[in-house]
Amino acid sequence: MADPAQDADVVLRLDGITKRFGALTANGEVSLDLKRGEILALLGENGAGKTTLMNILFGHYVADEGRVLVGTSGNGLADLEPGSPSAALAAGIGMVHQHFTLAENLSALDNILLGTERLAALSSSRAPARRKLEDLMARSGLTVSLDARISQLSVGEKQRVEILKALYRDARVLVLDEPTAVLTPQESDTLFATLKKLAADGLGLIFISHKLAEVLASSHRVAVLRGGRKVADLPTAECDRRRLAELMVGHAITDTARTPGTPGASLFVLSGISAGHGRDALHGVDLDLKSGEILGIAGVSGNGQTMLARVISGLETPSSGSITLGESTLTRASARKMIDSGLARIPEDRHHDGIIGAMSVSENLAIETIRKPENQRLGLLRFAAMRERAKDLIKAYDIRCQSADSPARLLSGGNIQKIVLARTLETEPMVVLAAQPSRGLDVGATSEVHRRLIAARDRGAGVILISEDLDELMRLSDRIAVIHRGHLSAAEPTETLDRGTLGLRMAGHNAEDAA
Amino acid sequence: MIRFEPRGPASLRRMLAVTIAAAVAALVLAAIPIAFAGLSVFDAYGLMVKGAFGSLFAFTEMLTRAAPLILTGLAAAVAFRARLWNIGAEGQLYAGALAAVAVGTGLISGPSLVLIPAVMIAGALAGGLVMLGPTLLKTRLGVDEVVTTLLLNFVILLFVQMMLEGPMKDPMGMGWPQSEPILDEAALPKLMDRMRIHWGLVVALAASLGVYFLLKRTVWGFEIRAVGENASAARHAGIPVTATFVRVGLLSGALAGLAGVGEVAGLKGYLTADLSPGFGYSGIVVAMLAGLSPVGVVLAALFIASIFVGADSMSRATGVSNYLADLIVAMALLCVLVSGLFLRFRIRLVGDHKSRETAE
């Protein structure tokens, strides 16, 4: 490890980093080297400690043990002051967070220069800064219009601004946290091409991911974190998909192969639905869900999926169009009416819309049926019955919690999702709306979600699966439709589609262009 | 440098400890102006304790003062639980008092068994209706209820003054702006002979238990908690959020209205425009001190009441202004708000971090 010849190339070293939050060890003695010109993928499931580690690196957290060393100009390594983002910036560490840290109402140039200019300068000239940036853009291929306001930029462009921000500060190490989460497949390809160019220029890059495909395609080396510890650190060339997946999960895994459904009659029909304003609005959406099928809806985040889910959930009244379930019209139905009509809704933001963190697991399991006789009598809650039912559901859905009375907030994302699944699917709904049901979940919880959705389909329910994960859609859906700028394409059988076609449609090219 | 590190959910013991520490801190901070006033801090606080607990009379006075504070505290607690920021308990209290006087001074007559409930219902209804407007404005139009409820306080107080100078002025009142006295049958009975303590305290204690039961045991309470903790998830789960806000608004206003009923029908016997020394506003402090727990409200109200009564007594004995009580109460609120920080975060002073020297 202390081989001086090797050290010359090292731009960043994490040495025995340990970070505890109460009883939880988020990082346990993690050591990591990053060399000049190297792309290192940091792979791990949710909660494996990837983001914590990078937050320590960037000074958002202070490690309980261990130290961070950065390459100095004199080819040595020096300790980085812990807990100081400004020290990290000064040492040439740039970070692109999953949620961008840009001021929406300022121009791209303003955002890039923010914090680099003197507070009080007699003369403020931005010409040199602009020249430097134009040079950077030309070399890296990261082009953005510097004078455009951030709010007018697309997600991909915002990400480019973030990267430019780091490069402008002469970053020698760039960390990207889940950079492809918000991009189309094509945008992701462009991003990785750029990253490779930057690496060839000598930048050290770390990208955090849980997507095996992009790790295999675009990194030189992979470090796998599991339960806060580094379980593998090896050249990407020596890895394959299965090996990485097993390292990440810690046991052998079996892929769920797609089993076709047996679609029946039309069940749930949206016709000409328009709703909302602005970016997330829907324009004349037609959708015909049959019983016994999973209908996938693909699209880049922010193209109307959220509004579509809200309309189907009964949270938003469409401005035109109609919704029918079998014989009954649900166009202006409330959330209550939707539930009572046999719609299960799995919200995309499970922490925000799915559970009430301060209330107990048992209460969260009962919340949709709180006014049903099984949970109340004369307006008084039937605690014993609620707890009994909760215990059954906790067992049936393998919800890991201390007890039915512990606050739902304390559960992991996967277990929170299991609460939502348990309370919505247990009533054997006719229609299931699953919005981003596996987003942010680990492999185990994801396959549980998939199993439950397939089970619902197999007993004859119609399932609408809104997802940004093409692999998930291809694996589960019987038909797939694409949503772009609030328009929903006609659904086509999954067999007739491939990733390339879907990717183009997600980017707004219509079916004829793609053909 | 100071670092804040988030900590897990607070245990009941730590919540109690922090609350008591906040109260003590408030007393310590208030000692500074006492010392400036040239008084021995121990003498001053000794006189205050004596003034609130030193005799049966002092103790019953303190309880009498606590009764409206419990009710306004409950009004704030139940509303804040649902994140409905009712800052208008003061106005709702006056609306309740006005309704009690309107009904209890001869509008209807009958035995106490009829009149007392009638007066109480009228007061609760009036308080609730006052809160209905801001609640509907919030749910329908998104108008900030902090502003509407706060400003309504002044509207109602001025309306009460208008009524007391006009249609409801007591013709036998020697020209004072006060209402006719409430009928004997409508007055809340005293709890003890020769003391001012009255049944309003029992009403307040019963209300505290009632609110506790409502929040803990009923579907409505479940819905109030759900809406307060996460309105978005509650709406998604099919809970009628608007209806819940309306219920909470009515209940909160009604509790504050009952405080007004107690003050006119139990204590003063008639309505004046200086009926409440800010019970509505102090109720917010009570609720915050109690951590919005309906049972805790009783304890917090006793604490605040003893400070008010004790400070009055100390002021009479020493000549130090009884504004000191307001000061302590305000300090207590600030300390409790700051103490929330200690509940949610572990606060560490880092200056001796070992890697700091090596950083340079």
CATH code assigned at A224: 3.40.50.300
> Tokens at residue A403, please?
């007890």
The predicted-structure confidence for B91-120, as pLDDT tens digits, reads as follows 999 999 999 999 999 888 889 999 999 999
What distance in Å separates the CA atoms of residue A408 and residue A274, rounded to the nearest whole number?
35
Q: Is the model's pLDDT at B278 over the cut of 50?
A: yes
Rounded mean pLDDT, B309-321: 86
Residue type, A185: P
The reported pLDDT for the residue numbered B235 is 95
Tell me which of A170, A195, A222 is where a domain ends: A170
Q: pLDDT averaged over chain A?
A: 87
Give how far Cα A493 sits from Cα of A478, A481, B26, Å: 6, 9, 70
Rounded mean pLDDT, A490-508: 87
Higher pLDDT among residues A513 and A126, named by residue: A126
The reported pLDDT for the residue numbered B360 is 33
Nearest of B312, B300, B329, B328 to residue B47 by alpha carbon: B312
The reported pLDDT for the residue numbered A515 is 40
Higher pLDDT among residues B1 and A165, named by residue: A165
Same domain, A78 and A181: yes
Interface of A with B (CB under 8 A): 21-22, 62, 67, 79-83, 87, 313-315, 334-336, 338-340, 345, 347, 352-359, 363, 367-368, 370-371, 375-376, 379-381, 407, 409-410
The reported pLDDT for the residue numbered B315 is 85
Per the document, the length of chain A is 515
Sheet holding A77-79: strands in order across? A24-35, A10-21, A65-71, A77-79
The reported pLDDT for the residue numbered B216 is 93
The predicted-structure confidence for B59-90, as pLDDT tens digits, reads as follows 999 999 999 999 999 999 999 999 999 999 99
Q: How many CB pairs under 8 A join A and B?
A: 98
Higher pLDDT among residues B220 and A409, named by residue: B220
Q: Is the model's pLDDT at A440 over the cut of 80?
A: no
Rounded mean pLDDT, A466-481: 90
Taking phi over 0 as left and psi of -120 to 50 as alpha, with beta for the rest, A49 belongs to left
Closest Cβ–Cβ partner in A340, A352, A407 for B233: A352
Closest Cβ–Cβ partner in A345, A368, A380 for B218: A380
Closest Cβ–Cβ partner in B226, B240, B359 for A367: B226
Give how many domains chain B has, as a whole number.
1
The reported pLDDT for the residue numbered B357 is 37
Element at A274 (helix H, strand E): strand A266-275
What distance in Å separates the CA atoms of residue A43 and residue A209, rounded to the nearest whole number?
5
What distance in Å separates the CA atoms of residue B164 and residue A332, rounded to the nearest whole number?
50
Contacting residues of A for B292, CB less than 8 Å apart: none
Higher pLDDT among residues A334 and B357, named by residue: A334
The reported pLDDT for the residue numbered B359 is 36
The reported pLDDT for the residue numbered A300 is 82
Residue type, A1: M
Same domain, A231 and A206: yes
The predicted-structure confidence for B147-166, as pLDDT tens digits, reads as follows 999 999 999 999 999 999 98
Does the beta-carbon distance from B236 to A345 stay under 8 Å?
yes
Rounded mean pLDDT, A132-143: 86
Residue with tokens 């261990």: A66
Contacting residues of B for A379, CB less than 8 Å apart: 218-220
A417 lies in some domain = no
What range defines the domain where residue B271 resides? Answer: 70-290
- What is the share, in percent, of chain A residues with pLDDT greater than 70? 94
Give how many domains chain A has, as a whole number.
3
Same domain, A147 and A206: no
| Burial (0-12, 13-18, 19+ Cβ within 10 Å), B319 | exposed
In sequence order, what are the residues at sequence separation of 6 or more whose Cβ sits closer than 8 angstroms to the Cβ of residue A468?
A181, A298, A299, A300, A301, A305, A436, A439
Q: Any idea which of A257-271, A379-393, A458-472 has the lowest mean pLDDT?
A: A257-271
Same domain, A446 and A311: yes
Touching check for B83 and chain A: CB below 8 Å? no
Closest Cβ–Cβ partner in A355, A375, A407 for B233: A355
Phi and psi torsions of B358, nearest 5°: -70, -10
Touching check for B40 and chain A: CB below 8 Å? no
The reported pLDDT for the residue numbered A74 is 66
Q: For CA atoms A301, A307, A310, A311, give the dihedral sign.
A: negative
Q: Is the model's pLDDT at A218 over the cut of 50?
A: yes
Same domain, A69 and A110: no
Same domain, A182 and A316: no
What distance in Å separates the CA atoms of residue B236 and residue A310, rounded to the nearest whole number?
9
The predicted-structure confidence for B21-74, as pLDDT tens digits, reads as follows 888 888 888 888 888 888 888 888 899 899 999 999 999 999 999 999 999 999
CA distance B215 to chain A (A): 10
A310 lies in some domain = yes
Does the beta-carbon distance from B218 to A81 stay under 8 Å?
no
What range defines the domain where residue A214 resides? Answer: 4-92+172-249
Closest Cβ–Cβ partner in B219, B234, B358 for A379: B219
A364 lies in some domain = no
B199 lies in some domain = yes
Q: Are B318 and B104 in contact (CB under 8 A)?
A: no
Higher pLDDT among residues A243 and A347, named by residue: A347
CA distance A21 to chain B (A): 8
What distance in Å separates the CA atoms of residue A10 and residue A12, rounded to the nearest whole number?
6
Closest Cβ–Cβ partner in B222, B236, B355 for A315: B236
- What part of B 222-251 touches A (C-beta under 8 Å)? 222-223, 225-226, 229-230, 232-240
Element at B133 (helix H, strand E): helix B112-136
- What is the share, in percent, of chain A residues with pLDDT greater than 90? 41
Does the beta-carbon distance from B239 to A367 stay under 8 Å?
yes
Element at A47 (helix H, strand E): none
CA distance A184 to chain B (A): 29
Confidence class of residue B3 from pLDDT cuts 50, 70 and 90?
A: low
